[in-house]
Structure 1
Amino acid sequence: MAVRRQVPTAVARAGTISALALATVGGIIPAPGVTGGAEASSVSAAALRIAASKKGAPYQFGARGPHRFDCSGLTQYAFRHAGKKLPRTAAAQYNHTRHLPASARRTGDLVFFHTGSGIYHVGIYAGRGRIWNAPRTGTVVRLDKIWSKAVWYGRVR
């Protein structure tokens, strides 16, 4: 005896509708490096999705979007559009967050790269050791592996 599972009407009728179209109808828009679930707050998850949506936007020193970004401009833009205000620079953003050990990091947390006591870069943690960031002149907003062990983590309050 075969067990029959009922397929939701929208899925059964989908036919050639793309997965992205189905996800959009369902209210979920997947992006590389974006994980779902309860592991990230809704604001942090939204900020992560917003940063991911800027993939390919050119780096420009001092730029805050919507079409060009530097590292802290991207994080500021993403969190502002998710409903939270952040200061302008990476160092000021670090001072504005709740500091965390690496073991407590979650997707949507900020990752701060430092040399001793000076912070030189920030990105948004995307899980699996990766961040969305605007690295430097000549590059674009992209998903990168965390390239250094000299990082601190902060959660936007």
Structure 2
Amino acid sequence: MGWKLKAFDELTNIELYNLLKERTLVFVVEQNCPYLEVDGKDPSSYHLFKEDNGEIIAYSRILPAGVSYQEASIGRVFVKKEYRGQGIAEELLKNSLDFIQNELKETNVKIQAQDYLKKFYRSFGFQTISETYLEDNIPHVDMLLQR
């Protein structure tokens, strides 16, 4: 049950299908938030995920600088409900940040975080750089990590 990190064109059809299914389940269904989940940024991104018996249980989308922001970014971060509270989210974010710093050679990371997760992201060094605002009816803040 290890981590996989792939560019878009390295994903198998079934991996792509499963990650889009899980992202939709979390961000559209679980959060009761109708929005365009497939936003056109996946082909330019890296996809970090962990599987358990072929099921994607944790995921983040790593966006190089210039895709969403001037800085590199991390988005679509989730751990499946039944796997939460086991430290997987911390592992996921650490691996995402390591890839950005060591492989993409970026030092600044900008994210759009759900407001209730500010403390989690601050534990990795992110600082809040905006007021709380509604994005798809969910309170968010912009946060920046500078190394």
Task: Tell me whether the two structures share a fold, i.e. TM-score over 0.5.
Answer: no
Higher-Rg member (1/2): 1
Q: Given the two structures, how large is their TM-score scaled by the length of structure 1?
A: 0.28
More helix by share: 2
- Does 1 or 2 have the higher relative contact order (CA < 8 Å, sep 6+)? 1
